[in-house]
Amino acid sequence: MPPTPLATPLLAALRQVLGEGGPVPLHEPEFRGNEWAYVKECLDTGWVSSVGKYVDEFERRIAELTGARHAVAVVNGTAALHVALHVAGVRAGDEVLVPALTFVGTANAIAHCGAVPHFVDSCDATLGVDPQRLAAHLQAATRGTPEGPVNAATGRRIAAVLPMHAFGHPVDLDGLLEVSARFGIPVVEDAAESLGSTYRGRHTGTFGLLGVLSFNGNKIVTTGGGGAIVTDDAALAREAKHLTTTAKLAHRWEFVHDEVAWNYRLPNINAALGCAQLERLPDMLDRKRRLAESYRRAFEAVAGLSFVGEPAGCRSNYWLNAVRLERPGMAERDALLAAANDAGFHCRPAWTLLHKLPMYADCPRADLSAALAIEASLVNLPSSARHADAKGGRP
């Protein structure tokens, strides 16, 4: 791949922030607290599976952190999305509005419901769903019915809108909620990447009917694998917990189940890891924001590249830092990625837009001009909290 003139200033900025050492991973977990002690307690007591004190405690701490009234811990973020959409009323044959610029799990959860992703465009300022473009698309592409809006071309009901807070940056929730109310479409938030992020002082994932968090190994807080559903609706929380524990009715010894459900409950041993991680979240958020500020300063004088900062009125966790080419181009983006990775800095692009994937190529979609430009211009940078501790080099 031919080199690009932007490779030299990109590498200089990366070395200014991260030092010369390598390889530098994109994002890695950090265990500096009570992780060993809590996991060892699970092993010593035998409480390692889906029942135990740490599962309940993890749910309590997630609810307290986010401000949601209820939290339900599950095995991963995709499972959380699947169940959240199901309890929100998404059924086979429906359509769900979802950004084309998101991780594949967001669309896969829709498909697991037997529904169809309907791809919509993103906003330059937030990287998430653009409310204005969404409203214009819905006005042109849907018609109202007593059951809610339907896609005029397919006849399928639009059952939900599923925004995703990309890389920890909150979407324009005021705008999105206004559009959803106008068209009568429930909001389920994919907050998988935005633990610790707030919109106008309120935690992401708590604005819609339900929200979803992820605790995968590359997230700011990890349980190894894990996710959670958050909601203020007690009935939806009870249904979500029932369905994620195989719909088993309480009984001292009988195994009686009252509907088809899923074995999605988070194991106690994973929840123990999560409880220890949550104790250190304020410190990790502080260091990740310091790292973001170091990147911002390093790139402010680099012509042709701009640092992606948090949207106005928001406080981002900066899960993944990013820069964007001022002139989008896939060839130049890939040349930058090649140069960075060759130098030992694990940088990556945004996801391939989901409508380009073979299983979703025939799904309905709006104009995706902004998402295409973001895809062709964005480069994620190494973002582990530990990099904020580097003083002229990696710790």
Overall domain count for the chain: 2
pLDDT at 2: 72
- The answer to whether 277 touches 86, Cβ cutoff 8 Å, is no
> Which structural domain range is residue 373 located in?
7-30+281-389
Cα angle 11, 14, 20 (rounded to 5 degrees) comes to 90
- The answer to whether 279 touches 65, Cβ cutoff 8 Å, is no
Residue with tokens 């948090």: 310
- The answer to whether 27 touches 385, Cβ cutoff 8 Å, is no
Dist. CA 106–CA 27, nearest whole Å: 20
- The answer on 275 and 285 residing in a single domain is no
- The answer on 161 and 77 residing in a single domain is yes
Establish if 394 belongs to a structural domain.
no
- The answer to whether 163 touches 129, Cβ cutoff 8 Å, is yes
- The answer on 295 and 229 residing in a single domain is no
- The answer to whether 230 touches 211, Cβ cutoff 8 Å, is yes
- The answer on 297 and 268 residing in a single domain is no
Which CATH number belongs to the domain containing residue 303 in this structure? 3.90.1150.10
State the DSSP code for 170: P
Pairing between strand 142-143 and 150-151? antiparallel
Establish if 97 belongs to a structural domain.
yes
- The answer on 287 and 251 residing in a single domain is no
Domain termination residue (choose one: 245, 279, 313): 279
Establish if 128 belongs to a structural domain.
yes
- The answer on 339 and 275 residing in a single domain is no
Domain termination residue (choose one: 255, 279, 303): 279
- The answer to whether 378 touches 350, Cβ cutoff 8 Å, is yes
Q: Identify each DSSP E strand in the chain by its residue range.
A: 70-74, 95-99, 116-120, 142-143, 150-151, 158-161, 188-190, 198-199, 202-203, 210-214, 227-231, 305-307, 314-315, 321-325, 348-349, 378-381
Dist. CA 240–CA 87, nearest whole Å: 7
Establish if 2 belongs to a structural domain.
no
- The answer on 50 and 140 residing in a single domain is yes
- The pLDDT tens digits along the chain (395 residues) read 677 899 999 999 999 999 986 799 999 999 999 999 999 999 999 999 988 999 999 999 999 999 999 999 999 999 999 999 999 999 999 999 999 999 999 999 999 999 999 999 999 999 999 999 999 999 999 999 998 999 999 999 999 999 999 999 999 999 999 999 999 999 999 999 999 999 999 999 999 999 999 999 999 999 999 999 999 999 999 999 999 999 999 999 999 999 999 999 999 999 999 999 999 999 999 999 999 999 999 999 899 999 999 999 999 999 999 999 999 999 999 999 999 999 999 999 999 999 999 999 999 999 999 999 999 999 999 999 999 987 543 44
Establish if 209 belongs to a structural domain.
yes
Establish if 352 belongs to a structural domain.
yes
Residue 382's closest CA among 308, 282, 292?
Answer: 292
Establish if 1 belongs to a structural domain.
no
- The answer on 259 and 118 residing in a single domain is yes
- The answer to whether 288 touches 318, Cβ cutoff 8 Å, is yes
- The answer on 94 and 164 residing in a single domain is yes
pLDDT at 393: 39
- The answer on 244 and 172 residing in a single domain is yes
- The answer on 146 and 92 residing in a single domain is yes
Which CATH number belongs to the domain containing residue 213 in this structure? 3.40.640.10
Domain termination residue (choose one: 263, 279, 295): 279
Establish if 361 belongs to a structural domain.
yes
- The answer on 182 and 269 residing in a single domain is yes
Phi, psi at 247, each rounded to 5°: 55, 40
